[in-house]
């Protein structure tokens, strides 16, 4: 109930913004901003990658401490481990865009970040607890790189600041809606199975799907150019 109360300001904001929608669409058409962006394959490739990679972060932030407590860590130790993960995520999020901007093709960088995220999650869930700090660090590096690469792709795939703004709204709106299914499916699988094996399946499935979109979105192409 406490969390649900925060839906009320969102509804109020939606009511206030709704009358502006028609005006914004008309303005976009006058300035040649592609409402056809919704029919652009490159735009949807970026959206798919953004949403699926975000599911990894949402799953970790929602369930990682509970998973580690069930593995035998104290709540305090589980919290510290998540803090380590988030610290390494911050480090990588600063470096990945710099690397990606120097490559014509971003697929290799994105694949490497996805591999770190998926390997780190697997190790944290199944490897000996003594090596948990290593797997948490790898996962943090992967998640940080994936996050910053998603934002970098929005800029690299748009030929103008106006299109970048439109693509950002699409990618973060639709993408985060898709991402929200990840924590739900993990929680549902845990309730049904009574363990975290389902979480592993969900995480890896979302990761493989993100990989497919990354191999498309990472190519040196721009929206509206085909």
The span from the CA of 150 to the CA of 217, in Å, is 10
C-alpha closest to that of 142 among 199, 92, 75, 176:
92
Averaged pLDDT for residues 15-25 = 77
Q: Is residue 60 part of a domain?
A: yes
pLDDT score at 125 = 96
User: Is residue 96 over pLDDT 90?
Assistant: no
Q: Is residue 105 part of a domain?
A: yes
- CATH assignment at residue 163: 1.20.1250.20
Q: Are 162 and 223 in contact (CB under 8 A)?
A: no
**In total, how many domains does the chain have?**
1
Q: Is residue 15 part of a domain?
A: no
Length of the chain: 226
Q: How does pLDDT run across 54-72, given as a tens digit for each residue?
A: 999 999 999 999 999 999 9
User: Is residue 128 over pLDDT 80?
Assistant: yes
The span from the CA of 108 to the CA of 96, in Å, is 12
Q: How does pLDDT run across 164-180, given as a tens digit for each residue?
A: 888 998 888 899 999 99
Q: Is residue 75 part of a domain?
A: yes
| Whole-prediction pTM | 0.82
Q: Is residue 115 part of a domain?
A: yes
The domain of 69 spans 37-217
User: HSE of 56 in the Cβ direction (CA atoms, 13 Å)?
Assistant: 35
The span from the CA of 17 to the CA of 220, in Å, is 35
Q: How does pLDDT run across 184-207, given as a tens digit for each residue?
A: 999 999 999 999 999 999 999 999
The span from the CA of 51 to the CA of 155, in Å, is 16
The span from the CA of 48 to the CA of 46, in Å, is 5
Q: Is residue 76 part of a domain?
A: yes
Q: Is residue 206 part of a domain?
A: yes
Q: Is residue 80 part of a domain?
A: yes
């Amino acid at each position: 109930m406490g969390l649900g109360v925060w839906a009320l300001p969102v509804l109020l904001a939606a009511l206030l913004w709704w009358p502006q929608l028609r005006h914004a669409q008309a303005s976009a058409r006058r300035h040649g901003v592609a409402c056809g962006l919704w029919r652009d394959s490159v735009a949807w490739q970026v959206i798919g990658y953004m949403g699926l990679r975000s599911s990894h972060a949402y799953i970790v932030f929602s369930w990682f401490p509970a998973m580690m407590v069930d593995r035998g860590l104290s709540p305090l130790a589980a919290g510290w481990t998540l803090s380590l993960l988030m610290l390494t995520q911050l480090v990588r999020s600063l470096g990945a865009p710099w690397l990606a901007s120097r490559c014509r093709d971003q697929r290799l960088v994105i694949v490497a970040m996805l591999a770190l995220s998926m390997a780190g999650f697997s190790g944290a869930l199944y490897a000996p607890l003594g090596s948990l700090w290593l797997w948490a660090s790898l996962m943090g590096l992967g998640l940080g790189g994936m996050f910053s690469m998603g934002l970098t792709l929005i800029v690299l795939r748009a030929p103008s600041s106006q299109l970048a703004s439109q693509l950002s709204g699409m990618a973060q709106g639709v993408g985060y809606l898709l991402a929200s299914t990840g924590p739900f499916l993990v929680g549902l699988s845990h309730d049904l199975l009574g363990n975290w094996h389902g979480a592993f399946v969900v995480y890896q499935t979302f990761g493989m799907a993100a990989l497919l979109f990354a191999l498309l979105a990472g190519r040196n192409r721009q929206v509206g150019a085909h």
